[in-house]
Structure 1
């Protein structure tokens, strides 16, 4: 077993199986800027290491990933008044940070896994919450194992942001009106329902998700690796064009500059029901 040192994740391997563990359990593994950056570095490390053939992504503690961390992510670092907020948004744009409209910064529709050198298979082992950015990350993985307690949601909708890129990836593998409902309402869906509809490959008892993902990884390793990677390339190419097109539309809408976006996140911080005005 080898280990690479990170602060918000653990990246290890056991033979040809690599493990990327989100390790901010005190925040339900919510995405901070640092966590996003370290995930990307580990994904590149996995992609370029010839010894590693399959990756399992999972979360420490009570959840896989509860979405963006509104306290520590730059998407939510705006000031309280309109002028300060606009100035910070402009500064973020100049720095290449697109705030709420592009919380996976600089990636476009390719997201976490759409661009890679080797297209090695990645398995998400999900338990607890997979919300917003967590659902986005899981949806991009080539295979999903979920515990019965897992809940998925395109949570961006409820924060006043667009979850269209997550929707594009979910609908690729679960083409139904349920995917549209997830996008339109932000509703949390149980893993059992998503298993029935085909988004989840394995549904297992609570606490068994990592073991089941390892069993699936060993099954993947029995296939010729180059053929496996070609299959991964083909399946990922299904969602990249649509997600890229939707990403371009998101940059025009700039929902992160609306009053409803600010109200949604103020209400969350103040633990009250938001009062949206459609502006």
Structure 2
């Protein structure tokens, strides 16, 4: 079904694995399109309650495969056709999305990780804003998400300097949710994802939606947004289960509905 990625669902978690390890999972047009297709598949599947994006081999993704970039390449058209739809689909999925950064995430590979909700980094992983090193500007949502995660000054520093950011530094500046030792990598990523998959999925989707709207809303708008979101969440089966579990002094069993 897919040639440049692998897709599987396990324990209500959809795993999307970038699968060009010999090229450090560098993006091609086909890979961009397949990632977007896989995101749509996971979004539609009611059994999927969490997504994990990771890479096979030593890298998460080294960014665009520069072997396919010609001198007269129209970079804007590449972004509009391939990368922007992928990032827009990521933003529209109202389920938690984890970037499991197993190795280097450079250029658009870093952008992909930034667009996810959580970033779990292997202790050997690193980020590189590689765009400046080939005379380009960060793209694929990078300039949108980066300052929101680390602030304007640090975002400018990372984007202009183009230097490697270790996993530990990424954690310090707010780019990483968690740094995981190599010998615990698979176990801890799976546990983190499966824990998210057991939470009330509809509530998570509403949190994601209205946190994003908060950047463009004033206080009065956000108070009304919260009221609307709370009414919606209050009508879910998971809310009813949460209340019942509280009254019965037991752990709730959310179903994502």
Give yes or no for contact 1:153–1:189 (8 Å, CA) kept in 2: yes
| Deviation of the 1:205 alpha carbon | 1.0
Which residue pairs with 1:167 in the alignment?
A: 143
Q: For the residues of structure 2 that align with 1:138 and 1:175, how far apart are their CA atoms?
A: 17
Gap change, CA 1:186 and 1:148, over 3 Å in 2: same
Q: How many corresponding residue pairs?
A: 216
> CA RMSD of the aligned region, Å?
2.5
Choose from 128, 133, 144 the match for 2:108.
Answer: 133
Unaligned stretches of 5+ residues in structure 1? 79-84, 242-279
Query: What's 1:55 paired with?
Result: 51
TM-score (norm 2): 0.76
Distance 2:15 2:30 in 1: 18
**Separation in 2 of the partners of 1:168 and 1:181?**
15
Contact 2:32/2:86 (<8 A) preserved: no
State how 1:1-279 maps to structure 2 within 5 Å.
5-72=1-68, 76-78=69-71, 85=72, 89=74, 98-99=77-78, 102=79, 105=82, 107=84, 111-114=88-91, 116=92, 118-163=93-138, 165-175=141-151, 177-206=153-182, 208-237=184-213
Which segments of 5 or more consecutive residues in structure 2 lack a partner in the other structure? 218-257
Distance 1:55 1:226 in 2: 14
| Residue of structure 1 in register with 2:232 after alignment | none
Question: Alpha-carbon deviations, 1:232-269, whole Å to 9, x = none?
Answer: 2234456899xxxxxxxxxxxxxxxxxxxxxxxxxxxx
Question: What CA deviation, in whole Å up to 9, does each residue of 1:87-111 have, x standing for no partner?
Answer: x64xx8xxxx624xx3763727954
Instruction: Tell me the TM-score normalized by structure 1.
Output: 0.70
